[in-house]
Structure 1
Amino acid sequence: MRNKKILVTGADGFIGSHLVESLVRAGHDVRAFVLYNSFNSWGWLDQCSADVAGHFEVFAGDIRDPNGVRTAMKGCDGVLHLAALIAIPFSYHSPDTYVDTNIKGTLNVVQAARDLEVARVVQTSTSEVYGTARYVPIDEAHPLQGQSPYSASKIGADQIAMSFHSAFDTPVVLLRPFNTYGPRQSARAVIPTIITQIANGQRRIKLGSLYPTRDFSYVEDTARGFMAALEAPKAIGEVINIGSGFEINIGDTARAIAEEMGVEIEIVTDDQRLRPEKSEVERLWADNSRAAQLLGWTPAYGGREGFGRGLGETIAWFEDKENLRQYKSHLYNI
């Protein structure tokens, strides 16, 4: 894919903006698909690094519009499809938008890729499709369980993408990141929720359930996984986990952040942050051996030590006053 045109959907978001930066720095010709809006905002790309700004093309559109997706994809050799609705609480009361964006949006991407004979499509999945682990570490053969409308929509999107590979030989790779964290992440996610509360002087930290475990992956590792999936010759038609291989519960995550920030905290359960009992995913822990085998990818921020380094870099970004003021830590963000 060197010297080829790469389309990144969802480029204005958390992972997408980091991915655009990584691709540009690696010498790729990047077209960034951002959600059209009347403010002409490019999301996090408006604040991309100085060495990247001006070195990528922007296409403003809507992933739900097949004509716009096809237009954006013309002339592209590869597609990294990240555009999606991802907030689980919002999916409880607006599930129809998740079907339109995640499932129909993915259909638009693979249909255009098929018609335009794009050389590779990387579909973004999520560890949420596994639901609560039936065994650990979770490999790619683990059963899929739609425990929220969000996860159900992502299962549907994944199946649409892989069906095009099976039916039409569309060159699809299905990348399944576990819980990515890092600078620019939305405060609807737990790590920014904790950091922004502490950084704004709060010591009684409001959280939901403290007992679920997660496999947190630093955003630079996730971006490297996407870039590897774009080029690895054996990846087409495969489902591949991207995770750190390290499991930690939410309570211990909050305490690790507090220790890194040099404060003592009290954790308070906020009922509105609790998922419905059967919808809570209690345990996630990635088996990332297939990524090593097929992509040559291993986490640079793996294990407890790597998690600590990733937290340090994330905290440093959020503690910058210019960054912190963009977050409303006093509100519950769904």
Structure 2
Amino acid sequence: MKASGKKILVTGADGFIGSHLTEALVRRGYSVKAFVLYNSFNSWGWLDTLPQDIKNSLEVFTGDIRDPHGVKTAMQGCNTVLHLAALIAIPYSYHSPDTYVDTNVKGTLNILQAARELNVEKIVHTSTSEVYGTARFVPITEEHPLQGQSPYSATKIGADQLAMSFHYAFGTPVTIIRPFNTYGPRQSARAVIPTVITQIASGKRKIKLGALHPTRDFNYVVDTVRGFIAAAESETAIGEVINIGSNYEISIGETVKLIAEVMGADIEIVTDEIRLRPVKSEVERLWADNTKARKLLTWEPLYGGKDGLKKGLLDTVAWFTKKENLVHYKAEIYNL
């Protein structure tokens, strides 16, 4: 798929990854409709912070992914849908699981139903590495068993399975991409990297965190966005599930040390009990095999390995430490 004459709907365009993806698509020449969550403030989320020329190039649709009528209206006239809208905070899913079913499962169903009725050319559905649970083998391939260790991951498994069921049952042109832990500018402080950065940037040296031993495969947002666009443009990815990961494993504790090094800060880590997941819910190990992405999408990380992670952290820290950006965050409050 080439940019000329193609219109793309991005759901969740107001969020962290969605705003970066929306901006990148406009810069590539696509006609983009941005689906943002309706609110009485008329806020477009992070899209409000984009350069004016990018905002002038967007068609913005305010609605709710849980509303099938609004979803179908938003999708009319679009060739491709990049579906990112979801509730993603794992701690919040422990006490409000109903909202995750409504948003992640029913919201995805609304996209799929409308795509079927409107004969949309391609759906790129967003999964998550959390669907694998604690790795049973590494690196994790797309054939790894799925295990919902939190209500959040369970609803994402349900959404993934719905998407594939529509492909098998109705021929709906679905591609599922499964990003591992994305980080970068604009990320919510509910994630570990911005949590550490915002605490240090706010002058704190006793850093409150949860478990430090789990490992993750961190991906700079530029690489994740490149994966979405590659999936949208690919002629070979329909009906496939594809990991987007760096193929580099690092513990939370080592990541925190790397952030402190980048920021030139001498810190002490304090375990905050409220930030710990229930023992059996903690995903202990994630490490992506990205062979399939390299083969089908000709995608590979630009920020791979420890050097790539450090490079991405430098860019992330530079963004968060600007006063106009840090003001959006409440470092003193634990963000579910």
Q: Which runs of 5+ in 1 are unaligned?
A: none
Percent of residue pairs identical: 72
Q: Give the CA deviation at 1:50.
A: 3.8
Q: Quote the residue 2:82 is aligned against.
A: 80
Q: Quote the residue 2:152 is aligned against.
A: 150
**Structure 1 counterpart of 2:310, one-letter code:** G
Q: Which runs of 5+ in 2 are unaligned?
A: none
Q: Quote the residue 1:110 is aligned against.
A: 112
**Could you tell me the TM-score, scaled by structure 1's length?**
0.99
Deviation digits for residues 254-295 of structure 1 (CA, Å, limit 9, x no counterpart)? 100000001111001000000000000000000001000000
Q: Counterpart of 2:136 in 1: which secondary structure?
A: coil
**Structure 2 counterpart of 1:205, one-letter code:** I
Q: Quote the residue 2:317 is aligned against.
A: 315
Q: Quote the residue 1:283 is aligned against.
A: 285
Distance 1:302 1:213 in 2: 16
Q: Counterpart of 2:54 in 1: which secondary structure?
A: coil
Distance 1:43 1:82 in 2: 14
Partner residue of 2:262 out of 254, 260, 263: 260
Q: Quote the residue 1:274 is aligned against.
A: 276
Q: Quote the residue 2:248 is aligned against.
A: 246
Q: Quote the residue 2:297 is aligned against.
A: 295
Q: Quote the residue 1:42 is aligned against.
A: 44
Q: Counterpart of 2:144 in 1: which secondary structure?
A: coil
Contact 1:240 1:291 in 2 (8 A): yes
**Structure 2 counterpart of 1:320, one-letter code:** K
**Aligned length, in residue pairs:** 334
Contact 1:147 1:281 in 2 (8 A): yes
Distance 2:238 2:271 in 1: 44
**Structure 1 counterpart of 2:108, one-letter code:** T
Q: Quote the residue 2:206 is aligned against.
A: 204
Partner residue of 1:178 out of 170, 176, 180: 180
Q: Counterpart of 1:153 in 2: which secondary structure?
A: helix
**Structure 2 counterpart of 1:93, one-letter code:** H
Deviation digits for residues 158-190 of structure 1 (CA, Å, limit 9, x no counterpart)? 000110000000000000000000000000000
Partner residue of 2:137 out of 135, 138, 142: 135
Q: Counterpart of 2:39 in 1: which secondary structure?
A: coil
Q: Give the CA deviation at 1:52.
A: 1.4
Is 1:237 matched with 2:239?
A: yes
Q: Give the CA deviation at 1:49.
A: 2.8
Distance 1:220 1:54 in 2: 22
Distance 1:327 1:231 in 2: 35
Deviation digits for residues 51-104 of structure 1 (CA, Å, limit 9, x no counterpart)? 412111000000000000000000000000000000000000000000000000
Q: Counterpart of 2:34 in 1: which secondary structure?
A: strand
Q: Counterpart of 2:331 in 1: which secondary structure?
A: coil
Q: Counterpart of 1:53 in 2: which secondary structure?
A: helix
Deviation digits for residues 228-259 of structure 1 (CA, Å, limit 9, x no counterpart)? 00011110000000001111111111100000
Distance 1:266 1:49 in 2: 38
Q: Counterpart of 2:182 in 1: which secondary structure?
A: strand
Q: Counterpart of 2:56 in 1: which secondary structure?
A: coil
Distance 1:198 1:110 in 2: 43
**Structure 2 counterpart of 1:140, one-letter code:** E
**Structure 2 counterpart of 1:58, one-letter code:** V
Is 1:226 matched with 2:228?
A: yes
Structure 1 stretches of at least 4 aligned residues deviating more than 4 Å after TM superposition:
none
Q: Give the CA deviation at 1:48.
A: 1.0
Q: Quote the residue 1:96 is aligned against.
A: 98
Distance 2:24 2:221 in 1: 11
Contact 1:21 1:49 in 2 (8 A): no
Q: Counterpart of 1:37 in 2: which secondary structure?
A: coil
**Could you tell me the TM-score, scaled by structure 2's length?**
0.99
Q: Quote the residue 1:61 is aligned against.
A: 63
